[in-house]
Structure 1
Amino acid sequence: MHAGLRITAFAAALAATFGTAYGVGKGVDPVVDDPAPARHESHSEASAAPEGGDGHGGHETKPAGGLQISEGGYTLDLRTPGVTAGKRSDLSFVIRDDDGRAVTAYRREHDKELHLIVASRDLGTYRHLHPTRAADGTWSIPVELPRAGGYRVFADFTPAKKDAENLTLGADLAAAGPYEPQQLPAPNTTAEVHGYEVRLDGVLRPGKERELKLEVSRGGRPVTDLQPYLGAYGHLVALRSGDLAYLHVHPNGEPGDGRTKPGPEISFTATAPSSGTYRLFLDFKHEGEVHTAEFTVRAGVTATASETPGHEDGTAEHGH
């Protein structure tokens, strides 16, 4: 099936199933200020606009990740277009090539063949999951989403085909139930999660590489014995508010390289795809448990009165 037909069929099915749940327009149509991008550049660097330019207002010179369902000859075929909020459901999907065949061979990156991110449109709910793949290429994992509304599903992978590049494909998912919009949390440089405090030092700049340092402590003491998670001491995902453009970065250094310490500081290099407001989600592992620290940051824009704290904490989850 061509990508265009697949998208049309998906939208029709979604409207029929969830049209009365919470307002289909919010769940089906991406809130996109940018023109549709052409292709994703790399795994660790999303699109870039010149610093000081309009960026998120429509002048990206390179595409951001996760905004397309098809790219580079591959398509994300989401077989679960909708779930019910608060109920456990099986989420399944297939990655298809240009011939419509399910992809069954992937290159392992960061200990996994594929990374699955599920985030609500208001960025109040975040899930970093690792589904299992059947022999026929079908990926599946149980998921329980806490609130009704629109979600975006991101599949981050690299096909095993020679010279294949990393791709991040995105598709819409709806959670049925009473819908209550949530406000984006205000910008912050300190996050608390499960007794840990994580401090963010550094800024995102449109079109400019910048170092982001995140320091982990607990009870006022630096955590110096972080454990490897997905082949690193930290895993960072950034999503742009509005269209949920996806920026996936990794630390500077890795466990066992002779120079990277297991905390308290984790260093990343990141480039914002454009001006705008972003949510950063840092996964780190300590004493056998994975935790997620969440931040709101702005790149090349000033604060707006409408962006104030409003969503409940503790909505991040991991799948292993």
Structure 2
Amino acid sequence: MNTAVRITAYAAVLAAAFGTAFGVGTGIDPVNPEPASHGKHGSTAAEVGGSGGSGGSGTGGAGDAGERPGGLQVSEKGYAFELKTPRIAAGRESDLAFVIRDGKGGALTSFAREHGKELHLILASRDLNTYRHLHPERAADGTWSTPVKLPAAGDYRLFADFTPGDGKTGNLTLGRDLAVSGAYRPGEAPAPSRTTTVDGYTVTLAGGLRPGSAEELRLKVSKGGRDVTDLQPYLGSYGHLVALRAGDLAYLHVHPNGEPGDGVTKPGPEVSFTATAPSAGTYRLFLDFQHEGEVRTAAFTVRAGGAQAGGAEESGDPAGTERPAKPEGDGHEH
């Protein structure tokens, strides 16, 4: 075989090889790009009868929604969460200061009011034992600040829940880590429970979370063995529920089914929510409710999906022993 023939044959072999590789490459699904984040309040990865968010014991798997969970990113749609005090000391009152940056790098000063506030700041420890729902104040230059005193050292997560005032962007939930110095003792989230007590109130949870399926959560408030039927509106409703997924602390901001003054919703003893878990895993629920002029927080641990130790599929209902699950502090600093 002369040189020209050999070159021609070699080129044919290469062409066939590359053609095969191209065919294989196009026959395999491409790597999924990052899913789009939620637009308006109420459509994050975990759709909730009004709102949404997503971690921990498994990011992914059955029931995953196609959108990115809230609170896992520091910037989104041109807005960024800049924390000016990234570390504080345990046991001391400190001022947390932060800015929401707009697409041009300036401090955002125009916000739409959601549930009576321009911005809601949620703070939680990585072990989900400490929780705060804060309402910081904004200075004219766009700097937000709020005092806070945390009981224990460790890693915490801050969530800024807000809606820019441009009327186009919709609700955003951005997250930043906060380091709290001091003697550190790692903890674990409380075991799953259906009942918890806080300041003499007993709150019972019915229903649960199921990946990819809308499920109703009903929280019943009682005190001294009697149903509380005169709950007071707080942030425009009889209950305010935040859910965080253990592990990555993906954020799910849940809204109640109904509101005061709609002619249907009663002021207790039950507050109802509808939620879709973005994935199997363990979630921590924090219910804020107001009675006799004071806001209190009841906390629960629930599991969504996956197999239990016995091999059975979890129904989504909380399982395990009943035990108090009160978060550190009162859960509120305004």
The normalised TM-score by structure 1 is: 0.83
Return closer, same or farther for 1:313/1:106 CA change in 2, 3 Å cut-off: closer
Shift of 1:111: 0.7
Q: Which whole-Å CA distance do the structure 1 matches of 2:58 and 2:34 have between them?
A: 12
Shift of 1:163: 1.8
Task: Report if the CA contact (8 A) 1:156-1:169 is conserved.
Answer: yes
Q: Which whole-Å CA distance do the structure 1 matches of 2:327 and 2:252 have between them?
A: 22
Q: Structure 2 matches for 1:203-222, cutoff 5 A?
A: 203-222=208-227
Matched, 1:151 2:156: yes
Q: Which whole-Å CA distance do the structure 2 matches of 1:301 and 1:82 have between them?
A: 36
Task: Report if the CA contact (8 A) 2:295-2:332 is conserved.
Answer: yes
Matched, 1:171 2:176: yes
Aligned to 2:58: 56
Return closer, same or farther for 1:228/1:154 CA change in 2, 3 Å cut-off: same
Aligned to 1:116: 121
Give the gaps of 5 or more residues in structure 2: 1-32, 48-55, 311-319
Shift of 1:40: 2.9
Pick from 195, 213, 237: which aligns with 1:190? 195
Q: RMSD over aligned Cα, in angstroms? A: 2.4
Task: Report if the CA contact (8 A) 1:43-1:249 is conserved.
Answer: no
Shift of 1:42: 4.2
Q: Structure 1, residues 59-92: CA drift from partner, whole Å, max 9, x if none?
A: 4432110000001110000101000000000001
Aligned to 1:290: 295
Q: Which whole-Å CA distance do the structure 1 matches of 2:41 and 2:185 have between them?
A: 34
Matched, 1:78 2:92: no
For structure 1, which segment, 296-305 or 163-172, has the greater mean C-alpha deviation from structure 2 after superposition? 296-305
Task: Report if the CA contact (8 A) 2:46-2:252 is conserved.
Answer: no
Pick from 200, 204, 208: which aligns with 1:199? 204
Q: Which whole-Å CA distance do the structure 1 matches of 2:327 and 2:254 have between them?
A: 23
Q: Structure 2 matches for 1:98-113, cutoff 5 A?
A: 98-113=103-118
Task: Report if the CA contact (8 A) 1:118-1:127 is conserved.
Answer: yes
Aligned to 2:99: 94
Off by >6 Å, runs of 4+ in structure 1: 307-312
The amino acid that maps onto 1:63 is R
The amino acid that maps onto 1:278 is Y
The amino acid that maps onto 2:288 is D
Give the gaps of 5 or more residues in structure 1: 1-34
Aligned to 2:331: 317
Aligned to 2:14: none
Shift of 1:175: 0.1
Aligned to 1:39: 37
Shift of 1:284: 0.1
Return closer, same or farther for 1:230/1:236 CA change in 2, 3 Å cut-off: same
Q: How many residues align?
A: 281
SS of aligned partner of 1:191? strand
What is the percentage of aligned positions where both structures have the same residue?
A: 64
Q: Structure 1, residues 263-286: CA drift from partner, whole Å, max 9, x if none?
A: 000001111111100000000000
Shift of 1:108: 0.4
Shift of 1:311: 8.2
SS of aligned partner of 2:92? coil
Task: Report if the CA contact (8 A) 1:48-1:271 is conserved.
Answer: yes
Q: Which whole-Å CA distance do the structure 1 matches of 2:156 and 2:257 have between them?
A: 30
Aligned to 1:130: 135
Shift of 1:210: 1.0
Q: Structure 1, residues 20-39: CA drift from partner, whole Å, max 9, x if none?
A: xxxxxxxxxxxxxxx97652
Aligned to 1:267: 272
Return closer, same or farther for 1:41/1:316 CA change in 2, 3 Å cut-off: farther
Q: Structure 1, residues 116-142: CA drift from partner, whole Å, max 9, x if none?
A: 000000101000000000011000000
Task: Report if the CA contact (8 A) 1:120-1:126 is conserved.
Answer: yes
Return closer, same or farther for 1:303/1:83 CA change in 2, 3 Å cut-off: farther
Q: Structure 1, residues 216-241: CA drift from partner, whole Å, max 9, x if none?
A: 00011000000000000000000000
Shift of 1:183: 1.5
Task: Report if the CA contact (8 A) 2:286-2:298 is conserved.
Answer: yes
